């Protein structure tokens, strides 16, 4: 794939609508493209999985889906346009730049029969919290008996090397009281659950969330959604708060949840606790190979989620072209030079990984 063909491939990806949970058309298109290139291709749901080359087992993983475009876009989101080297379009940066760059590197491995045995896993539903890599990676390992010795999760990181990321717990805190007319509450001695919920929230603000991580820093907890009565003149029978908890290695989600429960009087229950924090040993071959392939890259830890969370027990980095701050923004863009640099990096990584594993 020449540079011109790579950039055209990227623009084609951007032009295909692939909202999360609606990735069928883009998966079909990518599957057909890879089959025509002569790759061995498997389909698992709307995940497209292809294998090429020989040698150490390296997995290249990114996602095909996007978030919806907001009404603040000033350009047609699905009509990629290039201005001064910037490619504008929905998903151009997150993460179709990584998809294109990884596909280019994969095709070179296919043409040259190496230097690694590379599997390209392009998954759906990353933006909606799982259902793509989360189920296709275990399928690949169990049904195809293909266990990666190293993995790269393609996300816009400016080609810096993500070796850790925070986990996520979503919790619901509920206090119950006595529903009644607000004007009668004091006379009736009614319990307004909002007062107790407010005390719980303040207690959680001061709660001990466990020790900080050397790279990720401290865990964090933020109340994000509040719900009580629907009208101003009613004391609710129940008040609820949704909590966004970002976690770090060192304290399991179950242990942290029990710790938080001791700080509140209300009921604290799980909405989602499966997304544990992830950390890759900096001495792992995939980390060292990536650093060798691009010495200018720095190691970093990410406060945001990605499919890297599903690689627990496997050595995986998060690394790709583009800039995270552009993701999900109106008039999202990526530089053409960043896509080309990404493809060059993934190609160099294959060589460095194979050399380190030999």
- CATH value at residue 208: 3.30.70.360
Question: Which of 275, 296, 315 is the endpoint of a domain?
Answer: 275
* Range 234-237 contact pairs with CB under 8 angstroms and sequence separation of 24 or more: 234/179, 234/180, 234/181, 234/182, 235/177, 235/178, 235/179, 235/180, 235/181, 235/182, 235/185, 235/190, 235/192, 235/194, 236/177, 236/179, 236/192, 236/193, 236/194, 237/176, 237/177, 237/178, 237/179, 237/193
Whether 182 and 152 share a structural domain: no
Whether 27 and 128 share a structural domain: yes
Whether 176 and 161 share a structural domain: no
Whether 153 and 19 share a structural domain: yes
Residues 21-56 pLDDT 10s: 999 999 999 999 999 999 999 999 999 999 999 999
Structure confidence at residue 303 (pLDDT): 85
Whether 132 and 94 share a structural domain: yes
Question: Are residues 310 and 126 in contact, defined by beta-carbon separation less than 8 angstroms?
Answer: no
Q: By residue range, what is the domain housing residue 73?
A: 3-165+278-357
Query: What is the pLDDT averaged over residues 247-264?
Result: 95
Whether 25 and 153 share a structural domain: yes
Structure confidence at residue 92 (pLDDT): 98
Whether 15 and 102 share a structural domain: yes
Question: In the chain, how many domains are there?
Answer: 2
pLDDT: is 114 or 305 the higher one? Answer: 305
Question: Which of 220, 252, 275 is the endpoint of a domain?
Answer: 275
Q: Calculate ∠ Cα 355-342-162, nearest 5°.
A: 75
Whether 302 and 160 share a structural domain: yes
Whether 125 and 182 share a structural domain: no
Residues 123-172 pLDDT 10s: 999 999 778 999 999 999 999 999 999 999 999 999 999 999 999 999 99
Question: Which of 256, 275, 294 is the endpoint of a domain?
Answer: 275
Whether 48 and 114 share a structural domain: yes
Q: Calculate ∠ Cα 109-111-112, nearest 5°.
A: 65
Mean of the per-residue pLDDT values of the chain = 97
Whether 263 and 284 share a structural domain: no
Structure confidence at residue 300 (pLDDT): 97
Question: Are residues 272 and 299 in contact, defined by beta-carbon separation less than 8 angstroms?
Answer: no
pTM equals 0.92
Query: What is the pLDDT averaged over residues 219-226?
Result: 97
- The CATH code of the domain that includes 145 is 3.40.630.10
Whether 79 and 179 share a structural domain: no
């Amino acid at each position: 794939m020449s540079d011109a063909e790579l950039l055209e491939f990227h623009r084609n990806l951007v032009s295909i609508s692939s909202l999360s949970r609606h990735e069928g058309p883009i998966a079909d298109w990518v599957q057909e493209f890879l089959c025509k290139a002569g790759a061995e291709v498997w389909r698992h749901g709307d995940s497209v999985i292809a294998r090429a080359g020989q040698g150490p087992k390296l997995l290249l993983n990114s996602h095909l889906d996007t978030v919806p475009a907001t009404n603040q876009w000033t350009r047609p989101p699905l009509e990629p346009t290039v201005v001064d080297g910037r490619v504008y379009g929905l998903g151009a940066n997150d993460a179709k730049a990584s998809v294109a760059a990884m596909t280019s590197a994969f095709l070179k491995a296919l043409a040259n029969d190496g230097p690694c045995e590379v599997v390209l896993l392009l998954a759906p539903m990353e933006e909606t919290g799982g259902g793509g890599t989360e189920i296709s990676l275990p399928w690949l390992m169990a049904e195809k008996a293909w266990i990666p010795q190293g993995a790269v999760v393609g996300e816009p990181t400016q080609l810096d090397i993500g070796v850790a990321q925070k986990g996520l717990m979503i919790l619901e805190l509920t206090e119950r009281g006595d529903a009644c007319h607000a004007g009668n509450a004091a006379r009736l001695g009614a319990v307004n659950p909002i007062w107790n919920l407010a005390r719980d929230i303040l207690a959680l603000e001061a709660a001990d969330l466990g020790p900080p991580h050397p790279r990720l820093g401290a865990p964090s907890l933020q109340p994000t959604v509040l719900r009580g009565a629907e009208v101003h003149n009613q004391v609710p029978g129940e008040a609820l708060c949704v909590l966004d908890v970002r976690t770090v290695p060192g304290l399991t989600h179950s242990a942290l949840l029990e710790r938080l429960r001791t700080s509140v009087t209300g009921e604290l229950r799980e909405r989602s606790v499966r997304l544990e924090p992830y950390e890759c040993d900096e001495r792992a071959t995939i980390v060292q190979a990536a650093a060798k392939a691009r010495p200018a890259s720095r190691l970093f830890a990410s406060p945001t989620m990605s499919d890297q969370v599903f690689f627990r027990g496997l050595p995986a980095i998060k690394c790709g072209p583009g800039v995270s701050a552009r993701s999900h923004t109106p008039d999202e863009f990526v530089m053409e030079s960043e896509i080309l640099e990404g493809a060059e990096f993934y190609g160099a990584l294959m060589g460095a990984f194979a050399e380190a594993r030999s």
